[in-house]
């Protein structure tokens, strides 16, 4: 049957089919042939946004096309992540994701699954931290907890959205210290920090990176980091454990593509990510932004996704957190 089909085709048709195959192969081989959009599911100015922009800048050396940042905040990252999940799986619309890709569906805030995305690479890890204004009378995590105990529900703690990692971090701190905060959600860490600077809330539970410029300007102070070890650049800031609270929680940030993106495109994207993450300019940028550099390839990051999903599920159920 196959032999008859080949011999029966006119020469012109054979040439036409050959041309189509060649064009298809060429299109795949030249990826990317146009700009690649990197969706940041949070407001501009936060740590995730800063990391995405630094990565996009460093990627120019390894891509023939620019990487364009698109901010799509809302629903604790759910709007932006769903935008990429539902995008054409051709590699031209990617997402920079954080732990919210796990927590948002667990809380029912948005209908999505981390399994709807294909991991490209993990780029960093940052712990949560409790930060207050520089003029706050609170100078330690012990002071902060004491104030919350003295007036349950009165201490306003800003986060990057209900159910987002910084909300979970503050809720976990409540659980560990038997206090009650007034959680105030924002569409990203940056708006929460601005509210703190404006005196509208008492504290934020975001990462050190997201308050770094204001720490250097003397406008805010970090009371403690929720990490196993002190954070580089903030060696004078104690960990929660050193402050008497056995708590370590934070977020990673990573790159992902829609499910069913072709294997050859994924291979190219993962190679670009590895090369870009190894760039001195990217490492210098993350250090300058006070972001924790923590690269993992797709295989290692995929394993972390599964284990972290189980951990966050247990935490959310234990704390009975609801949107």
Instruction: Note the pLDDT of residue 272.
Output: 97
Peptide bond before 181: cis, by omega within 30 degrees of 0? no
Q: How confident is the model at residue 29 (pLDDT cuts 50, 70, 90)?
A: low
Q: Read out DSSP for 94-143?
A: EEEEETHHHHHHHHTSS---GGGEEEEEEEEEEEEEEEEETT-S--SHHH
pLDDT beyond 80 at 278: yes
**Interhelix angle for 165-177 vs 100-107, to 10°?**
70
- Spatial separation of the C-alpha atoms in residues 96 and 77, rounded to whole Å: 10
- In this prediction, residue 188 carries a pLDDT of 83
Here the tokens at position 289 are 């932004």
pLDDT at 6: 39
Task: Compute the average pLDDT of residues 113-122.
Answer: 96
Per-residue pLDDT tens digits for 190-245: 899 999 999 999 999 999 988 999 999 999 999 999 999 999 889 999 999 999 99
Predicted model pTM: 0.76
What is the predicted pLDDT for the residue at 28? 45
* Range of lowest pLDDT (30-34, 74-78, 245-249, 255-259): 74-78
User: Distance between alpha carbon 142 and the CA centroid of its chain, in Å?
Assistant: 29
**Is the CB of residue 117 less than 8 Å from the CB of residue 298?**
no
């Amino acid at each position: 049957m196959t032999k008859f089909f080949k011999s029966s085709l006119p020469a012109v048709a054979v040439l036409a089919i050959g041309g189509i195959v060649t064009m298809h192969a060429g299109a795949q081989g030249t990826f990317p042939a146009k700009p690649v959009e990197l969706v940041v599911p949070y407001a501009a100015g936060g740590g995730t946004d800063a990391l995405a922009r630094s990565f996009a800048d460093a990627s120019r050396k390894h891509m023939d096309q620019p990487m364009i940042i698109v901010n799509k905040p809302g629903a604790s990252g759910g709007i932006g992540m769903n935008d990429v999940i539902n995008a054409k799986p051709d590699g031209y619309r990617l997402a920079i994701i954080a732990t919210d890709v796990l927590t948002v569906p667990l809380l029912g805030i948005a209908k999505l699954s981390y399994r709807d995305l294909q991991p490209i690479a993990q780029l960093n890890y940052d712990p949560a931290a409790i930060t207050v204004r520089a003029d706050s009378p609170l100078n330690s995590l012990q002071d902060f907890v004491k104030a919350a105990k003295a007036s349950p529900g009165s201490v306003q703690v800003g986060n990057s959205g209900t159910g987002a990692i910084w909300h979970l971090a503050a809720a976990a701190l409540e659980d560990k210290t038997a206090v009650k905060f007034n959680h105030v959600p924002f569409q990203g860490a940056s708006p929460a920090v601005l509210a703190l600077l404006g005196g509208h809330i008492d504290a934020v539970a975001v990462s050190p990176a997201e308050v770094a410029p204001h720490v250097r300007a003397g406008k805010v102070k970090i009371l403690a980091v929720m990490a196993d070890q002190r954070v580089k650049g903030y060696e004078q800031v104690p960990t929660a454990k050193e402050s008497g609270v056995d708590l370590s929680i934070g977020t990673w940030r990573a790159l992902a593509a829609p499910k069913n993106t072709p294997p050859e495109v994924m291979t190219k994207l993962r190679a670009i990510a590895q090369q870009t993450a190894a760039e001195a300019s990217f490492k210098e940028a993350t250090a300058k932004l006070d972001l924790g550099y923590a690269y993992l390839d797709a295989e290692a990051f995929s394993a972390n996704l599964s284990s972290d999903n189980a951990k966050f599920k247990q935490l959310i159920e234990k704390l009975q957190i609801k949107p």
